[in-house]
Amino acid sequence: MDLRISEGSGTNTTLDDQSVQSPTRRAKVWEYFQQELVEVDGVMKAVCKYCGTKLTSKRNSGTNSLRNHVADTCSKIPVEDRKRFIATMRKRPGEGSFVFDPRKNRECMVKWCISVKVTFNKFDDPFFASWMESLQPSFSGVGRQTMRNDCIVRFKMMRQELRNELQSLNSRICLTSDLWTSNQKLGYLCLTAHYIDANFILKKKTIAFKDVKYPHTGLAIEEVITKCLIEWGIKEKVFTITLDNASNNQSACDLLRESGRSDMLFGGEHLHVRCCAHILNLLVQDGMAIAHGAIDKIRDLVRHIISSPSRIQAFNEIAERSGLSSKAGLILDVPNRWNSTHNMIMEAIEYKVVLKRYTEEQLEPSPDDEEWTNSEAIGEFLGAFEEATKAFSAHRSPTSHLFLHNVLCIHQALRNENWQINCVLEDLALAMDSKFDKY
């Protein structure tokens, strides 16, 4: 017999067709009824697996009678199974009801995974799967390999979208690049593109993060940058590139200029833009070399304390007796980053009493009163340059229009007569002023 059963979507299929359909295409409600229909008074009916009730599935109502039986009528269906079915019921078109979309669910999970930097092995956690199933019973588990593959697919898709956007620009692209060595002694180069899109919105996109083999010569840097520009198809759109004020960077820019002069504005005359934040760092570093005496003693003392849990505990006990909050660890600077040295000095000054008592109790060497006075003066001096450094280092807004004002403020600060009251500060300011004139 060719019995036609109307599905909720309005399409007609035969029972014979349904019996061979894949489980994903057959209505969910049939899982609660016996596979074979029975004939009652010449009418084919479905039999409930739980209570044995026989129900007719009419053409004009689809499987609604079966759905209603499972959702509301049958008292022998386990509560959890009933809830699971109700959550997955598909509503008639036009009612505006939610329909679970596994594909959209996967897309949202990928975005969430990337946004909050979730490790892929978290998706193998059984509690994650049970949590998702409690929210949506139709959720199908996603393992770490599947999530990894989905993230790679999305990355490639977004990369192509960005590539198309950059190639379709009618304007030029400004680049910034930084080259550094990790604590594993590996060299890396990061290349960032800055541009104005069709809606006149300033955008910033990291287009490369590459390892650079030693030695980091100008030729090696130029080859990495050129290869990246060719991959993105934007070599002829470059306007400027901002790099640190180092000889290898200058050499790299000379090579870039020679290879693409015909595509560059003004023949590449303005291609290389020096990084003002880096120049300011060089100024301060040269000055700090003169004032290293007091700073070195503070650095050595801080390094000594934080290198042992027992010393940190002894330090914290003194801090609590002095009415100051305990510390998980004092700030130890990175010598080639003057702002971290400034932070170390200012915190040491805040805990000056604690540090002096600690050195007395532990019989450790300590800065004398004159060196503490010089350190306080140096901390105040460096604070005058902190605002300029923050302005130059901003990465979410343009900074070129701030250059002249901040450079003039730095020049005025270096010529301030107040530094003459302290011989260390006077020497420091003179050394920095000499470098200022050079750069």
| Residues 290 and 354 both lie in one domain | yes
Q: Per the domain annotation, does 144 fall within a domain?
A: yes
pLDDT at 23: 40
80: left (phi over 0), alpha (psi -120 to 50) or beta: alpha
| Residues 21 and 116 both lie in one domain | no
Task: Give me the domain span that covers residue 34.
Answer: 4-87
Taking a C-beta distance cutoff of 8 angstroms, is the pair 37, 46 a contact?
yes
* C-beta contacts of 289-294 below 8 A and 24+ residues apart: 289/431, 290/424, 290/427, 290/428, 290/431, 291/374, 291/378, 291/424, 291/427, 291/428, 293/371, 293/374, 294/367, 294/371, 294/372, 294/374, 294/375, 294/378, 294/424
Q: Per the domain annotation, does 116 fall within a domain?
A: yes
| Residues 227 and 350 both lie in one domain | no
| Residues 311 and 414 both lie in one domain | yes
Helix axes 218-232, 144-167, angle to 10 degrees: 90
Q: Per the domain annotation, does 267 fall within a domain?
A: yes
DSSP-assigned letter for residue 256: H
| Residues 312 and 399 both lie in one domain | yes
What contacts 153, CB < 8 A, 6 or more positions away? none
**Which helix H or strand E contains 371, and what residues bound it?**
helix 369-392
| Residues 432 and 292 both lie in one domain | yes
Alpha-carbon distance of 170 to 164, in angstroms, equals 12
CATH of the domain at 206: 3.30.420
Query: Per-residue confidence of the chain (439 residues) as pLDDT tens digits?
Result: 333 333 333 333 333 444 334 343 367 788 888 888 888 888 888 889 889 888 886 655 567 788 888 888 888 888 888 877 877 665 544 445 667 788 888 888 899 999 988 899 888 888 888 888 888 777 777 888 988 999 999 999 999 999 999 999 989 999 999 888 876 778 899 999 999 998 898 899 999 999 888 888 889 999 999 999 999 999 999 999 998 878 888 889 889 888 887 788 888 888 888 888 888 888 887 777 777 777 888 888 999 888 888 988 889 888 888 888 877 667 888 767 777 888 888 888 888 898 988 888 888 888 888 888 888 888 888 887 777 877 877 777 777 788 888 888 888 888 877 777 777 778 888 888 888 887 7
Residues in the chain: 439
Q: Per the domain annotation, does 97 fall within a domain?
A: no
| Residues 305 and 421 both lie in one domain | yes
Dihedral (C-alpha) 243, 247, 253, 256: value to the nearest 10 degrees?
-130
Alpha-carbon distance of 338 to 178, in angstroms, equals 18
Of 253, 274, 295, the residue at which a domain comes to its end is 274
pTM here is: 0.60
| Residues 292 and 372 both lie in one domain | yes
Q: Per the domain annotation, does 280 fall within a domain?
A: no
| Residues 397 and 329 both lie in one domain | yes
Q: Per the domain annotation, does 263 fall within a domain?
A: yes
Of 163, 182, 209, the residue at which a domain comes to its end is 163
Of 274, 296, 323, the residue at which a domain comes to its end is 274
| Residues 75 and 42 both lie in one domain | yes
| Residues 303 and 422 both lie in one domain | yes
| Residues 264 and 294 both lie in one domain | no
CA distances for 20 relative to 12, 25, 35, 276, angstroms: 15, 10, 11, 72
Q: Per the domain annotation, does 92 fall within a domain?
A: no
pLDDT at 4: 35
Q: Per the domain annotation, does 93 fall within a domain?
A: no
Q: For the chain, what is the domain count?
A: 4
